[in-house]
Amino acid sequence: MYTKIPFFREIILSSFNCEHCGNRNNEVQFGGSLNDLGVKYTLNVVDMKSLNRSVVKSEFATISIPELDFEIPPQTQQGSIKTVEGFLMSAIEGLSELQPQRRIYSPEVAQ
């Protein structure tokens, strides 16, 4: 579905759900042209309500939380629309998935 987010830009939303295997995929791609220079958006999370703020993350975007020394790079959680809490929960799930192997092969990183 092609749509325009007010005060933002045009995007293409795609969603796939297989009834047989349960595989799901939701993705966001930019529908217009890319700017020559990047843009930086800053969101100050000051209360629990702020965690419910929707964020559009392209395949080129980085989410950074300096206070936690935490970063979600472009190649992860690419092309998605989630709440701030949703991005954090997905990061926690992704990091937790490989933690047992990480403890064996790279204990300092696992720590």
> How confident is the model over 66-103, as pLDDT tens digits?
888 889 998 888 778 889 999 999 889 888 888 888 88
Q: Looking at residues 23-44, what average pLDDT do you find? A: 76
Gap between the Cα atoms of 83 and 23, Å rounded: 22
Confidence of residue 34 (pLDDT cuts 50, 70, 90): low
Quickly count: other Cβ atoms within 10 Å of residue 65's Cβ: 15
Task: Kindly report the CATH number assigned to the domain that includes residue 55.
Answer: 2.60.120
Higher-confidence residue: 72 or 10?
72
**pLDDT value, residue 85:** 92
Full residue range of the structural domain in which residue 54 is found? 2-110
pLDDT attached to residue 7: 66
Domain count within the chain:
1
Q: pLDDT grade, residue 8 (50/70/90)?
A: low
Report how far residue 87's alpha carbon sits from residue 63's, in angstroms, rounded to the nearest whole number: 9
Run of H or E including 17? strand 10-17
Instruction: Specify the pTM.
Output: 0.68
> Where do the DSSP E strands lie in the chain?
2-4, 10-17, 24-30, 54-57, 63-65, 70-72, 80-83
